Amino acid sequence: MLVLKHKFIKIIAVILISSFVLSSSVYAKMQIMSDDDLTKIDAETGITIALNTDIYLKATSIGLFTTTAETSGIVLPNVVIDGTLDTTSDNFTNPSAVNVNSTLVADVGTASGKTWLNISGINIYNPIGLTSKGIYIEDGANDRILGDLYMRGVFMGRTLTNGTSGYTPPGNTQTFTMGSLPSITVAAHAGGGLDLYASLNAYINTLEYRFRPADSSNEFKVSGIYACQSFTGTVEYPSTWVGSGNLRIGNFAYNTSYAYSLGSITTTLYASMDVGTSGGKTYLCLNLPLTGSIRVNDFQMDSTGSFGPIAVDGMTMRMVKVTLYNI
């Protein structure tokens, strides 16, 4: 069960209400449409939302809990989503607004006995970052601090070229080519978890996890993360990498072959997320079947220095289960 703190919900509500109130296209009374206007309308389901606004999102905390009592789960305090590019600024006190210019299409439908929400047209043209300091596991009286998370320079659904603000992969000035616009589809499943699948072409400039918040040298840092369909260029030399197309999380057919008499079965795979308890401890279980390619320009751990580039090309993984427990 995903539980959002009341303050965060109020912030979202204010943003949505302000968008309607301040929009120049909103009228205070009904308008009669001409016959010519009516002939230009195509009947469709869903809703289209055109956004062009400067925003930031801030929440005192966001929690993923196993019960409505909120006694067992994972909590992200001091969450900020904004345009901050460094990791030294106090962006919770002074967040940096970022321009969002996207046309989103949301549809609700049913398939396989479930109700699905599909959102397409997601575009992150300007760099966005996510910050959360003091992430902890809430488990009754045994809360445990995990550390700080800094994600900087997130782009999605656009072509990136050398000199683009927020795009500074180490040792790489090549163009990262946009695929089709990203989309995500989500449904609930039995037990309170989520099924989802997504298609995306994304880049993250830096991802830092500081497991000792007071000392930035005690961290895992990944720089220049690409997720797409495929790459050209020599694996050992990031300066030659050119990525294109979309990586898919779930929503791809997987063929399982059996003995001759049984033939084969093709199934559509979905990603899933569940939170539960075992032995009095909280755990988070993710299943993320993937198809596509992921490359990383540089990976660093503590003060040991750089481990160099990482490349996983042309992968198709039927099941990728990650369980975090007893933490």
**pLDDT tens digits for range 21-69:** 343 333 334 455 444 544 444 445 678 988 899 999 999 998 877 766 7
**Local confidence band at 270 (pLDDT 50, 70, 90 cut-offs):** confident
DSSP per residue over 18-39, as a string?
A: HHHHH-TT--SS--PPPHHHHH
CA distances 102 to 21, 312, 323, Å, are 19, 30, 34
Domain membership of residue 61 (yes or no) is no
User: What local confidence, expressed as pLDDT, does residue 150 receive?
Assistant: 94
Q: What mean pLDDT is reported for the chain? A: 78
Whether pTM exceeds 0.75 = no
Domain membership of residue 67 (yes or no) is no
Average pLDDT over residues 175-183: 83
Domain membership of residue 64 (yes or no) is no
Domain membership of residue 62 (yes or no) is no
**Local confidence band at 99 (pLDDT 50, 70, 90 cut-offs):** very high
To which H or E segment does residue 118 belong?
strand 114-120
Tally of domains within the chain: 1
| Residues with Cβ within 8 Å of residue 297, at least 6 apart in sequence | 169, 170, 171, 172, 223, 224, 225, 238, 309
User: What local confidence, expressed as pLDDT, does residue 23 receive?
Assistant: 39
For 3, the 3-state DSSP assignment is strand
Domain membership of residue 176 (yes or no) is yes
Domain membership of residue 183 (yes or no) is yes
3-state SS of 43-77?
Answer: CCCCEEEEEEEEECEEEEEEEEECCCCCCEEEEEE
State which residues form the domain around 239. 48-56+75-325
How open is the CA angle 95-100-102, to the nearest 5 degrees?
160
User: What local confidence, expressed as pLDDT, does residue 39 receive?
Assistant: 43
One-letter amino acid for residue 175 of the chain: T
Domain membership of residue 286 (yes or no) is yes
User: What local confidence, expressed as pLDDT, does residue 239 receive?
Assistant: 86
Query: Which of 120, 126, 137 lies closest to 96 in space, CA to CA?
Result: 126
Domain membership of residue 23 (yes or no) is no
**Local confidence band at 274 (pLDDT 50, 70, 90 cut-offs):** confident
